[in-house]
Amino acid sequence: MNINYIPGYQAGLKSPSLRVDGLSLPQLPAKRLVEFVAAASPLIEVDSSGLQQQLSQQPPADSAQCFIQGLYQRLLRQANIAIAGEAQWSPSESGGVSLQLPTTERASTALQAYLRWAVALCQTLAEPSARVDHSAQQRQLQQISRHLAAAAPYSRSCYQFLGAAEALNIPSADLLPNTQFYGQGRRSFWMDSSFSQYTNVCSTNLARNKAFSNVILAQAGLPVPRQYSVNTLQQAKQAARSLGYPVVVKPAGRDGGVGVTPDVRKPQGLEMAFKVAKEQDPRVLVENHVNGRDYRITVFRGRALIALERVPGGVTGDGASNITVLIAAANSNPRRGVGVSFALRPLVVDDEMRLLLAKQQLSLTSVPAPGQFVRLRHTANINSGGMPVDVTDQMHPDNAALAVRAAKALRLDLAGVDLLIPDIADSWRQSEAAICEVNAQPTIGSWRSAGLYQPILSQLTSGNGRIPVVVVIGELNEQFLPWLQQQLQPHRLTLGFASAEQVWIGGEPQAVTACAVERALLRNGQLIFRDSEVDVALLQLALPSDLALGLPCDRIDLLLNGLAQSGSGWPEEWRRALATIEPYLAYAVGVEKGWPAEPDAAITAAIVARAERCAEPLSPAKM
């Protein structure tokens, strides 16, 4: 089976793809595939109940295709790989079917292995007398699943932002494990999880130093705990005596609740807490314990977007089950798991849990009363098994304003402000409250906070992040390029031009390294779309072969005819090539009106009008 990786846009897809021509899929009873999927799903931690139902309804002629596409989608979702579009199936000229499977560059190798494995499995299962080693097949699938997970972005926030970009019709590319690219040209921007290119690095470093950020927040007149920075256990004991028990002990430079021990009430507990914190950071903080519930308020550009109460990991009694059974029931929640694809973390029995139970005069064999909440974790962070509860509608306006002030004090565009207060419905001015820390790269989450990704992305660019794209097919009038740049200058629009041979930005030629001929236009086109000074993109398709590896963009606003013939007289090779880009034509007004690639005021007017439309606020009608 010959699989080709297409790094550009092709077949109407909005991502790179794998293309297979002449694929021969067998007819086989769906029952055999259902049995395999049911047995393999626990190994790869995929919820396959929906796929099993789909397969059971397929006739033998369609079951292999349904299996390949359905399992592919679930593997990607499990691995946190966001891909725009769905698999494209079509009859192949050489017989069989052609398949165009969306992918990312980093996931392409693992998905090629998946395709070969899936087709081979279907062919094996189609033989009634064939003996299938299900264990070996499942191990192969498990290995493919691991490789896909290794090709995913580092955090689930990256996955969620990429999905939000697709929903908003903002172009995106998953370039590196920690770096995603959104938009085009001047309207483009980078993101690293919840960091954007507008996040101040000085502010980030300051927020990550909990001792320094505590000082800055206090100087801004905001409520924070009294705090000491210590290096030795003796210093920690002195700090605790000065503050008075209970105290909180935590590492100075770690996020996510790592190494934090709250409510330390005795010197013996202080020794253990100091050791835990010291293992995470040589600098340890001791601060007074603030009684209150734990809230995370997410702030973006001067607005408090959401408030979550972070309920610490624990179980609620039913009067019949012991704590071990209740923990197992809590961990059976499909939202709990170890991988980044899970919104919640499992509750793990360890020394911290046993210590907390002992403080409550309980053990793992105790049977809590109906409705009795048993706390199993010191901190309420999601990473330690906590549960988020949306309390945005209950938040007092003073508390929202306090969170905004904290983010502004540290000059952060996006921040997670952790507030300790008895009840978020009451103003911090009338109750004991303190900001325990401000996170410069907050984990936004995928459950309660899933609705934040689109509003954040839409404010990081103008419109949908796109720039006008003009494509010329065939020859380009030598006067056209300087003429168009001159016409755009009064509108303060910079032209980026790319062909297979050259790149110009703002009228200046750009040096480019050599590459394979079939890849030249794609590479050069990507260069201008990722340049932050380009307002308008002009691409020249001089030969049909320029489209061999796809387009560098997923939309064409204006198509101009540089061929000698009109559309009806185009050579067959041009007809076939242009059929591949037809799905990307937004307004083919150039060809429809017979516009040649020559100076024409109407072309300038069309480009400027599109540039203005691209900059308009997002709405469903203009996406």
Distance CA 579, CA 572 (A): 11
Confidence class for position 565, pLDDT limits 50, 70, 90:
low
Residue 321 has pLDDT above 90, yes or no: yes
Which pTM does this prediction carry?
0.85
pLDDT band at 619; cut points 50, 70, 90: very low
Beta-carbon-side half-sphere exposure of residue 286 (alpha carbons within 13 Å)? 29
Main-chain dihedrals φ then ψ at residue 191, nearest 5 degrees: -140, 145
Q: Where are the domains of the chain?
A: 3-152, 157-198, 226-289, 469-622
Q: Which of 396, 324, 310 is nearest to 365 (CA)?
A: 324
pLDDT of residue 598: 67
Question: Is there a contact between 465 and 184 (Cβ–Cβ < 8 Å)?
Answer: yes
Give the pLDDT score at 446.
Answer: 62
Q: Report the pLDDT value the prediction gives residue 595, as an integer from 0 to 100.
A: 56
CATH of 226-289, one of 3.40.190.10, 3.40.50.300, 3.40.1790.10, 3.30.1490.20: 3.30.1490.20
Residue 623: per-residue pLDDT? 33
Q: What is the pLDDT of residue 77?
A: 87
User: What value does the mean pLDDT take over residues 371-392?
Assistant: 82
The answer to whether residue 545 scores a pLDDT higher than 60 is yes
- Tokens 């997970």 sit at which residue? 149
- What's residue 415's pLDDT? 95
With H, G, I as helix, E, B as strand and everything else as coil, classify residue 430: helix
Q: Is 28 exposed, middle or buried (0-12, 13-18, 19+ CB in 10 A)?
A: buried
The DSSP result for 578-618, as a single string, is HHTTGGGBS--HHHHTT-BSS--HHHHHHHHHHHHHHTSPP
Name the pLDDT band for 592 (thresholds 50, 70, 90): very low
Mean pLDDT within 399-423? 96
The mean predicted confidence, pLDDT, of the chain is 88
- Share of residues in the chain with pLDDT > 90 (%): 53
Sheet holding 227-230, edge to edge: 227-230, 284-288, 247-251, 261-264
Q: Crossing angle of helices 108-125/134-150, nearest 10°?
A: 160
Average pLDDT over every residue of 360-383: 86
3-state secondary structure 16-76: CEEEEEEECCCCCCHHHHHHHHHHHHHHHCCCCHHHHHHHHCCCHHHHHHHHHHHHHHHHH
Calpha distance 561→563 (Å, rounded)? 6
pLDDT in tens, 200-226: 999 999 999 999 999 999 999 999 999
Residue of 43 and 545 predicted with greater confidence = 545
Tell me how far apart the 2 most distant CA atoms of the chain are, in Å: 90
Task: Report pLDDT for 301.
Answer: 94
- pLDDT band at 479, cuts 50/70/90? confident
pLDDT of residue 477: 79
Cα distance between residue 311 and residue 303, in whole Å: 24
Peptide bond into 246 cis (omega under 30): yes
- 306 contacts 445 by C-beta, under 8 angstroms: no
For 63-107, what is each residue's pLDDT tens digit? 999 999 999 998 998 888 988 888 999 888 778 899 999 999 999
Per CATH, 226-289 and 469-622 having the same topology is answered no
List, in sequence order, every residue forming a beta bridge with 180; answer none if it has no partner: 174, 191
Averaged pLDDT for residues 315-320: 92
- Indicate if the pLDDT at residue 358 is higher than 60: yes
Low-confidence winner among 189-198, 206-215, 232-241, 554-563 (lowest mean pLDDT): 554-563
More confident residue, 147 or 378: 147
- Residue 332: pLDDT above 80? yes
- Each residue's pLDDT tens digit, 98-121: 999 999 999 999 999 999 999 999
H or E, element range at 405: helix 397-409
- Is 90 exceeded by the pLDDT of residue 368? yes
What CA–CA distances, in Å, run from 297 to 136, 205, 308, 452, 596? 48, 20, 6, 12, 56
Q: Which pLDDT score, from 0 to 100, does residue 399 have?
A: 98
Q: Which of 376, 371, 370 is nearest to 357 (CA)?
A: 376
For residue 495, is pLDDT > 50? yes
Per-residue confidence at 621, pLDDT binned at 50, 70, 90?
A: very low
Which distant-in-sequence residues (6+ apart) come within 8 Å of 489 by Cβ? none
Residue 552 burial by CB count (10 A; 0-12/13-18/19+): exposed, middle or buried? Answer: buried
* DSSP bridge partners of 472: 540, 560
Q: What are phi and psi of 375, to 5 degrees?
A: -80, 135
Check whether 569 has a pLDDT greater than 70. Answer: no
Residues near 20 by beta carbon (within 8 Å), at least 6 away in sequence: 1, 2, 3, 4, 98, 99, 101, 115
From 262, 253, 267, 150, select the one nearest 204 (Cα to Cα): 253
Report the half-sphere exposure of 199 (CA within 13 A, side-chain side).
Answer: 22
Of all residues in the chain, what percent carry a pLDDT higher than 70?
92
CATH 3.40.50 assigned to domain 469-622? The reply is yes
pLDDT at 551 over 60: yes
The DSSP symbol for 333 reads S
Render pLDDT for 520-539 as a digit per residue (tens, 0 to 9). Answer: 899 999 999 999 999 999 99
The confidence score (pLDDT) of residue 620 equals: 37
User: DSSP assignment, residue 621?
Assistant: G
Model pLDDT, residue 614: 76
Count the neighbouring beta carbons within 10 Å of the beta carbon of residue 534.
25
Sort strands 284-288 and 247-251 into parallel, antiparallel or unpaired: antiparallel
Q: Over 80: is that where the pLDDT of 299 sits?
A: yes
- In the prediction, which pLDDT does 219 show? 96
